[in-house]
């Protein structure tokens, strides 16, 4: 993490600094280069005009245009050509004596229009084919101000030295700008690495150690800038996390103690309840047996005693049924607690779905022999793969689902199916054609101590414990599968759950399907 911060932030800052400084130095350099170039051009043009100005003021003789040394000294450049041309266009004085007496219109390398304007201006000439730069000055010479010129002083100077000086100035600015950019960038990058990147890297390392649980890691807090504020925030977070972890550890210890107390309580209560419950059921059966043997024959001839015997027999049956219901509730509570606490002993193995379904249907057949005799149908697809399951627990799930279906479809049909919805999974379905379940009750089906009709088994007296489907859900999910319920009122219900097929290797257990 430290390398990532250092590399990315340093690179970003360095690029931004270089771009900004390059743009700034380029703008400044361009401005001053243009300014110095303009000053050099102005000075060069003034010197090129100087011979004509002196002649106009009668301070320089006209025939001086033929003196190359004097003209070079006056113009400050390499004198190339010079003439004094009359208003009629004839050349009266010239460096080249061959052109004296000729008309400028007959000269190929001279533009005669320069000598017809009233107030000619300097005309810089771009680089010529020979690679040289020139400047030409045509200065009108008048007898007095505002008079018509009677002569024109023509001066042509090679200005290669001026152009070279301009190039030298530009190169100097470019080189200086590059040096400034490099030096200032290095200074800023070094400063940033020392006072920004490294402190941030240390904070990142502290954050990593905090993430790994090292809450006693010291965080440097000696700075008073934004990084110092960030460091103090990290330190405050570290103290808050340590305090919260301390609180959570204390709460976890208390919860562990409470869970142990709950386990001990359930074990004790189950033992204390089962012992007298066994005695009650045993004595109830013994009383019923003796009652059948000794009291019923005596009450056979007495109608009053026969009626009393019927009530006694019914009361004894209620004692047995309620005792058995209490035993089932105790077993359900203990089973759910064992599954949640991880104390349940599981016996996984590879089993045939057809055998699991047939065993459950055999045991549940007694439920379907009670009037009005609902019909049980077993439909298992052929060639199903073996499932990885604890047969006793899956048997418990199937029996629970079949028992529920028989209650809500007393005159209908209950179907137990097994099929393969997708490779690696086996789907078990228990459907009925009973009264169905309201849509609002389906989300609560797998909750604890809940039964249909918003009945709370903790406060009302239901037919069951309200834990059967909750236990089924825990068992199926412990196998790696999922369970769901669908229903349409007045048309019936469907309960389905998936189990993983037994893999060739335990590590190849497939992921549970999204919709079992």
pLDDT of residue 387: 95
Q: Which residues of 30-40 are buried (b: 16+ CB within 10 A; e: fewer)?
A: eeebeebbeeb
14-35 residue pLDDT tens: 777 778 877 877 787 778 788 8
pLDDT of residue 283: 76
- What is residue 413's three-state secondary structure? strand
pLDDT of residue 1: 44
Rounded distance between C-alpha atoms, residue 364 and residue 361, angstroms? 5
**Mean pLDDT in the chain?**
80
Give the pair of three-digit tokens for residue 74.
């006056």
**Which position has the token pair 């052109």?**
99
Give the pair of three-digit tokens for residue 429.
């379905």
* Position 391 pLDDT exceeds 90: yes
Mean pLDDT of 257-265: 73
163-219 residue pLDDT tens: 788 788 888 878 887 888 788 778 877 887 777 777 777 777 777 777 777 777 777
307-338 residue pLDDT tens: 787 788 888 888 887 777 777 777 777 777 77
pLDDT of residue 246: 85
pLDDT of residue 481: 94
pLDDT of residue 8: 60
pLDDT of residue 2: 45
pLDDT of residue 509: 46
Rounded distance between C-alpha atoms, residue 382 and residue 359, angstroms? 17
Over the Cα atoms of the chain, what is R_g? 55
pLDDT of residue 428: 96
Proportion of the chain in helix, strand, coil states, percent, rounded to 5: 60, 15, 25
- So what CATH class is 2-167? alpha beta
Q: DSSP string spanning 422-444?
A: STTEEEEEEEE-SS---GGGGGG
% of the chain with per-residue pLDDT over 90: 16
- Per-residue pLDDT band at 392 (split at 50, 70, 90): very high
Q: Which residues contact 442 (CB under 8 A, 6 or more apart)?
A: 485, 486, 487
- When mean pLDDT is compared across 56-65, 387-396, 498-507, the lowest value belongs to 498-507
- What is residue 499's three-state secondary structure? strand
pLDDT of residue 7: 54
* Position 500 pLDDT exceeds 70: yes
Domain ranges of the chain: 2-167, 227-340, 348-508
Rounded distance between C-alpha atoms, residue 79 and residue 62, angstroms? 16
430-461 residue pLDDT tens: 999 988 888 888 888 888 777 665 444 444 44
pLDDT of residue 157: 86
49-105 residue pLDDT tens: 888 888 888 888 988 888 888 888 888 778 888 889 888 888 899 888 888 889 888
* Position 415 pLDDT exceeds 90: yes
pLDDT of residue 302: 74
Q: Which of these, 503, 512, 498, lies nearest to 386 by C-alpha position?
A: 503
SS (H, E, C) 54-120: HHHCCCCCHHHHHCHHHHHHHHCCEEEEEEEEECCCEEEEECCHHHCCCEHHHCCCCCHHHHCCCCC
Rounded distance between C-alpha atoms, residue 458 and residue 465, angstroms? 9
**348-508 — its CATH code?**
3.30.565.10
- What is residue 348's three-state secondary structure? coil
Q: Which of these, 380, 378, 441, lies nearest to 408 by C-alpha position?
A: 441
Q: Would you say 402 and 361 are in contact if contact means Cβ atoms under 8 Å apart?
A: yes
Confirm whether pTM is higher than 0.75. no
Rounded distance between C-alpha atoms, residue 410 and residue 370, angstroms? 9
Give the pair of three-digit tokens for residue 95.
């460096």
Rounded distance between C-alpha atoms, residue 207 and residue 214, angstroms? 9
Mean pLDDT of 368-391: 88
Q: DSSP string spanning 210-258?
A: HHTT-TT--------SHHHHHHHHHHHHHHHHHHHHHHHHHHHHHHHHH
């Amino acid at each position: 993490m430290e390398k990532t911060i250092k590399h990315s932030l340093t690179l970003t800052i360095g690029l931004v600094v270089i771009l900004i400084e390059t743009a700034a130095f380029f703008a400044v350099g361009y401005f001053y280069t243009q300014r110095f170039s303009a000053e050099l051009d102005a000075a060069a043009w003034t010197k090129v005009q100087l011979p004509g100005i002196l002649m106009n003021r009668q301070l320089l003789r006209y025939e001086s245009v033929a003196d190359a040394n004097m003209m070079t000294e006056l113009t400050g450049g390499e004198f190339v050509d010079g003439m004094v041309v009359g208003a009629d266009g004839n050349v009266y004085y010239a460096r080249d004596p061959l052109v004296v007496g000729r008309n400028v219109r007959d000269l190929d390398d001279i533009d005669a229009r320069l000598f017809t304007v009233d107030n000619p201006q300097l005309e810089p000439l771009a680089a010529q084919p020979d690679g040289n730069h020139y400047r030409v000055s045509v200065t009108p010479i008048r007898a007095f101000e505002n008079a018509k010129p009677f002569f024109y002083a023509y001066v042509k100077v090679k200005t290669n030295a001026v152009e070279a000086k301009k190039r030298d100035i530009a190169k100097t600015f470019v080189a200086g700008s590059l040096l400034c950019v490099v030096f200032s960038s290095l200074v800023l990058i070094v400063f940033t690495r020392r006072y920004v990147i490294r402190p941030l890297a240390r904070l990142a390392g502290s954050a990593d150690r905090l993430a790994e649980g090292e809450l006693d890691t010291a965080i440097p807090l000696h700075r008073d800038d934004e990084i110092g504020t960030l460091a103090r925030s990290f330190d405050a977070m570290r103290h808050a996390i340590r305090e919260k972890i301390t609180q959570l550890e204390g709460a976890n210890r208390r919860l562990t103690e409470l869970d142990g107390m709950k386990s001990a309580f359930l074990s004790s209560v189950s033992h204390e309840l089962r012992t007298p419950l066994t005695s009650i059921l045993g004595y109830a059966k013994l009383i019923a047996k003796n009652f059948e043997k000794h009291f019923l024959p005596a009450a056979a001839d007495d109608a009053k005693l026969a009626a009393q015997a019927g009530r006694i027999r019914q009361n004894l049956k209620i004692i047995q049924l309620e005792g058995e219901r209490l035993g089932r509730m105790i077993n359900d509570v203990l089973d759910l607690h064992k599954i949640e606490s991880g104390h349940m002993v599981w016996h996984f193995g590879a089993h045939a779905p057809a055998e699991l379904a047939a065993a459950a249907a055999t045991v549940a057949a007694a439920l379907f022999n009670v009037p009005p005799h609902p019909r049980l149908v077993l439909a298992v697809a052929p060639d199903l793969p073996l499932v990885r399951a604890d047969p006793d627990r899956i048997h418990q799930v199937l029996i629970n689902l079949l028992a529920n279906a028989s209650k809500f479809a007393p005159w209908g049909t209950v179907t137990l199916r097994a099929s393969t919805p997708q490779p690696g999974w086996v789907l078990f379905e228990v459907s009925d054609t009973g009264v169905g379940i309201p849509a609002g009750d389906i989300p609560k089906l797998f909750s604890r101590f809940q039964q249909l009709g918003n009945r709370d088994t903790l406060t009302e007296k239901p037919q069951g414990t309200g834990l059967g489907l909750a236990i089924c859900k825990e068992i199926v999910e412990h196998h790696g599968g999922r369970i769901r319920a669908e229903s349409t009122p007045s048309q019936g219900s469907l309960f389905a759950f998936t189990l993983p097929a037994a893999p060739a290797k335990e590590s190849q257990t497939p992921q549970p399907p999204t919709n079992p």
